[in-house]
């Protein structure tokens, strides 16, 4: 019985592909990347330069690098596939820092998504089945056609473990959100993934010309934020009221970006769903991963790598293994210890709203295979990484697992919930508060109807973006009033820096006072489907302070 549940995710992927490619296709399996790109290119089209003046001037917005013409649907104007760099990172610019835009008087369509970043397992990527390429640095903008100016701006950064995902994900399309909340502008951005965005190269014989390769994905995000700061007023947005917002690796990103020098002029707030800087690596780890990657490919220099085609690079990354890619804590672009950077006040002037789901790891359990496959994979992972722990620390973890009732996979789910999500979440809240900053913390408990998924990783995304039809992970639509209330809290935070709602603006007609996290009461906002309420962490014992909190010092075990 348990084995069938992972098949549900696979069937969901196939169903999505059948819908995407049309009923005449049996599945996406077996097709080459070029064949898929050709089909999707024909379906989605390509943004072109407009030279004959035949466009709707009311949908055109002049920016530094061109005038972009959007499309209006049901009162919302979408501008898709706007480049935020002057040159795309291809050819000699592979593994180089993003190039800033230059002035351009041309007029361009902004009708279609730009390319999705190169990523592995393209047959199974529900979130990002689309035309892919290294020339992927584009953004999308959604705004209500109401003529209002100085609107708060919410910039979405997608997740995917820094190796997958894209702005084309239907579940994260912004029209529905903006239609319901016309008082904000929503933007989604792409960034380089995997070995194209996070590969340490400077230690190689010819690596001195690639000093930024280990953190290019974050540099791409910063360049997108720079473009937004310089151009969003033309769309009716307030460049001085920007919230960066993400889930999973996107949440890792938005909690890391405040620690980059000069970043604070581009945003004032952070919304982080199920992610912290936990996925980051040390320089030593990054170099070891690169060396193993080079061995797989039989390469010795960057020049050798430049000769390898994209699919072989992705295959080598796949062979390298999961969770081996992410930002590098190099002590230059990023601090050596992000948690301590928060404690030292490096983000104290940034308002933060962050939280996690009750059963994050249940999603990964379904992805890896319920029961034996999951247990095998994560037992191996723990055996490899737990050598870093002292004997006393290992004993504490063993004690924690023994107290989890159920089978071994349940113990591993609960343990990795603590390691990857819960403990890092509370450490950021603790340190941000100690430094005098603001942190609003939440705990999402609503469960999917997919068997064993519970309140797993990403369950809330279709709710947050107002796409109840997207049920691959959630399995169902959630209560409409609850969903609207949660979205309104996100918007209220973006507008004011405080997510609390008075009764007159709350969709459920009830006042919701969201307390700041404090070191004594440690209150979080609990999102039960029919009972949104603040609660002390100690009432639910969300975090095991004695037996797992210390694990944050090891980051992504």
pTM of the model as a whole = 0.91
157 pLDDT tier (thresholds 50, 70, 90): very high
Q: How confident is the model at residue 121 (pLDDT cuts 50, 70, 90)?
A: low
Average pLDDT of the segment spanning 501-506? 97
The residues annotated as belonging to the active site are 248
Decide: 14 and 27 in contact? Cβ < 8 Å: yes
Across residues 524-537, what is the average pLDDT? 97
> Residue 208 above 60 pLDDT?
yes
Query: pLDDT value at position 90?
Result: 96
At residue 259, does pLDDT exceed 70? yes
Number of alpha helices (DSSP H) and beta strands (DSSP E) in the chain: 18, 16
Identify the structural domains of the chain with CATH numbers, from first to last. Answer: 359-557 (3.40.50.1820)
Digit-coded pLDDT (tens) for 330-359: 999 999 999 999 999 999 999 999 999 999
Determine the pLDDT at residue 183.
97
In this model, does residue 254 exceed pLDDT 80? yes
Give the mean pLDDT of the chain.
Answer: 90
- Ranges 109-123, 375-389, 428-442, 457-471, most confident: 428-442
Work out the average pLDDT over 453-478: 92
pLDDT of residue 2: 29
Position with higher pLDDT, 44 vs 494: 494
At residue 280, the pLDDT reads: 94
Phi/psi at 127 (5° precision): -75, -15
Residue 267: what pLDDT?
Answer: 98
The answer to whether the beta carbons of residues 134 and 37 sit under 8 Å apart is no
CA–CA gap between residue 338 and residue 256 (Å, rounded): 7
Of 202, 226, 201, 199, which is closest to residue 215 (Cα–Cα)? 199
pLDDT at 262 over 50: yes
Instruction: Look at residue 552 and give its three-state secondary structure.
Output: helix
Task: With cut-offs at 50, 70 and 90, classify the pLDDT of residue 34.
Answer: low
pLDDT value, residue 21: 28
Answer yes or no: is pLDDT of 19 > 60.
no
- To the nearest whole percent, how much of the chain has pLDDT over 70? 90
Q: Indicate if the pLDDT at residue 124 is higher than 70.
A: no
Compute CA distances 214 → 39, 179, 230, whole Å.
33, 38, 26
Question: Which of 336-356 are b and which e, b meaning 16 or more Cβ less than 10 Å from the residue's Cβ?
Answer: ebbbebbbeebbbebbbbbbb
According to DSSP, residue 61 is labeled E
d(CA 378, CA 384): 10
Q: What is the mean pLDDT of the segment spanning 373-380?
A: 91
Contact 137, 223 (CB under 8 A): yes
Evaluate whether 269 touches 244 at the Cβ level (below 8 Å): yes
As a dihedral over the C-alpha atoms of residue 508, residue 510, residue 515, residue 521, rounded to 10 degrees, the angle is -110
Per-residue pLDDT, averaged over 189-215, amounts to 97
Partnered with residue 524 across adjacent β-strands are 535
When pLDDT is averaged across residues 266-292 and rounded to a whole number, the result is: 96
Residue 33: the pLDDT is: 46
Higher pLDDT, 10 or 253: 253
- Whether 234 shows a pLDDT value over 50: the answer reads yes
Are the C-beta atoms of residues 223 and 84 closer than 8 Å to each other? yes
Q: Which two tokens stand for residue 149?
A: 């100016």
């Amino acid at each position: 019985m348990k084995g069938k549940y992972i098949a549900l995710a696979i069937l969901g992927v196939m169903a999505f592909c059948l819908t995407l490619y049309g009923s005449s296709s049996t599945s996406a399996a077996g097709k080459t990347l070029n064949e898929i790109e050709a089909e999707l290119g024909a379906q989605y089209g390509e943004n072109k330069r407009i030279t004959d003046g035949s466009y709707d001037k009311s949908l055109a917005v002049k920016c530094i690098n061109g005038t972009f013409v959007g499309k209006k649907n049901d009162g919302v104007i979408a501008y898709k596939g706007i480049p935020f760099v002057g040159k795309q990172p291809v050819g000699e610019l592979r593994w180089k820092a993003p190039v800033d835009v230059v002035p351009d008087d041309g007029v361009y369509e902004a009708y279609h998504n730009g390319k999705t970043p190169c990523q592995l397992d393209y047959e199974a990527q529900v979130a990002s089945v689309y035309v892919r390429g290294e020339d992927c640095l584009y953004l999308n903008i959604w705004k209500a056609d109401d003529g209002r100016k100085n609107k708060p701006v919410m910039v979405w950064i997608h997740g995917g473990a820094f190796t997958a995902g894209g702005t084309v994900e239907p579940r994260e399309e912004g029209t529905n959100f903006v239609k319901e909340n016309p008082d904000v502008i929503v933007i989604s951005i792409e960034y380089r993934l995997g070995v194209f965005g996070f590969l340490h190269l400077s230690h190689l014989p010819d690596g001195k010309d690639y000093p930024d390769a280990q953190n290019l994905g974050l540099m791409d995000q910063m360049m997108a934020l720079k473009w937004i700061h310089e151009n969003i007023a033309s769309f009716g947005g307030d460049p001085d009221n920007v919230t960066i917002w993400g889930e999973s690796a996107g949440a890792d990103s938005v909690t890391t970006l405040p620690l980059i020098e000069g970043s604070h002029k581009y945003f004032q707030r952070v919304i982080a769903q199920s992610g912290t800087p936990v996925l980051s690596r040390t320089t030593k780890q990054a170099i070891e991963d690169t060396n193993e990657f080079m061995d797989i490919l039989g390469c010795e220099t960057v020049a050798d790598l430049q000769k390898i085609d994209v699919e072989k690079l992705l295959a080598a990354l796949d062979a390298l293994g999961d969770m081996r890619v992410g930002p590098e804590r190099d002590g230059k672009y990023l601090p050596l210890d992000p948690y301590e950077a928060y404690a030292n006040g490096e983000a104290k002037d940034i308002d933060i709203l962050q939280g996690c789901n009750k059963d994050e790891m249940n999603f990964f359990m379904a992805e890896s295979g319920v029961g034996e496959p999951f247990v095998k994979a994560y037992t191996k992972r723990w055996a490899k990484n737990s050598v870093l722990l002292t004997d006393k620390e290992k004993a504490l973890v063993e004690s924690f697992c023994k107290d989890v009732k159920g089978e071994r996979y349940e113990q591993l789910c609960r343990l990795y919930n603590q390691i990857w999500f819960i403990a890092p979440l509370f450490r950021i809240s603790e340190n941000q508060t100690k430094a005098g900053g603001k942190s609003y913390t939440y705990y999402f408990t609503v469960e999917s109807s997919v068997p064993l998924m519970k309140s797993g990783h990403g369950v809330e995304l279709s709710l947050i973006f107002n796409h109840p039809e997207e049920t691959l992970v959630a399995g169902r639509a959630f209560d409409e009033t609850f969903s609207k209330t949660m979205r309104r809290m996100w918007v209220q935070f973006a507008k004011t820096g405080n997510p609390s709602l008075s009764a007159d603006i709350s969709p459920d007609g009830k006042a919701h006072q969201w307390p700041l996290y404090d070191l004594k009461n440690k209150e979080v906002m609990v999102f039960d489907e029919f009972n949104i309420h603040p609660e002390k962490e100690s009432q639910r014992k969300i975090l095991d302070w004695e037996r797992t909190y210390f694990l944050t010092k090891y980051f992504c075990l």
